[in-house]
Amino acid sequence: MKINWHIKHFNELTTETFHDIIQLREEIFIVEQNCPYLDVDGKDLNATHVFAYNDKKQLLATSRILKPGTSYDSASIGRVCVSQKARRLQLGKELMIQSINFSTQNYGRNITISAQTYLLNFYSDLGFKKSGREYLEDGIPHFKMTFNLNKF
């Protein structure tokens, strides 16, 4: 299966691509994780989206990158998700590498994320460090984590 990666600002997305991104996020965050929340929060409008389609034009993975000052003082990566049908392909790691590379090249060496607690090891392996105490976000345990390219 061929995977095609894309990095585009919201203004560059087609309506079909944005539809696919929202649909995948709802499948994962709202349905699979049984967490009703308002996904469309206005931040997508100024975000850069990293996403991958397979050769059958199915969206397999997506994340969004926010400029410094949007959610945190530093840039941030969020809405990270991989379709259930593609989880065995290790796309999560590639998605984050693409997201980290874009973020550090365009917004500086620091990145902040709000990581679901069960994914701490995944993000730690990518160079993120836990900061602060565990907290609930939409009823799911999270930790704030930071990435600093100088310390990686």
pTM of the predicted model, to two decimals? 0.95
For the domain that residue 14 is a member of, what is the CATH number?
A: 3.40.630.30
Two structure tokens written together for 30: 């709202």
Beta carbons of 77 and 96 less than 8 angstroms apart:
yes
Taking only the tens place, the pLDDT of each residue in 108-138 is 999 999 999 999 999 999 999 999 999 999 9
pLDDT at 28: 95
pLDDT at 152: 57
pLDDT range class, residue 1, cuts 50, 70, 90: confident
Residue carrying the six token digits 């996403």: 51
Domain containing residue 66 = 3-151
What is the distance, to the nearest Å, from the Cα of residue 6 to the centroid of all Cα atoms in its chain?
Answer: 13
In the structure, how many helices (H) and strands (E) does the chain have?
3, 7
Q: How many domains does the chain have?
A: 1
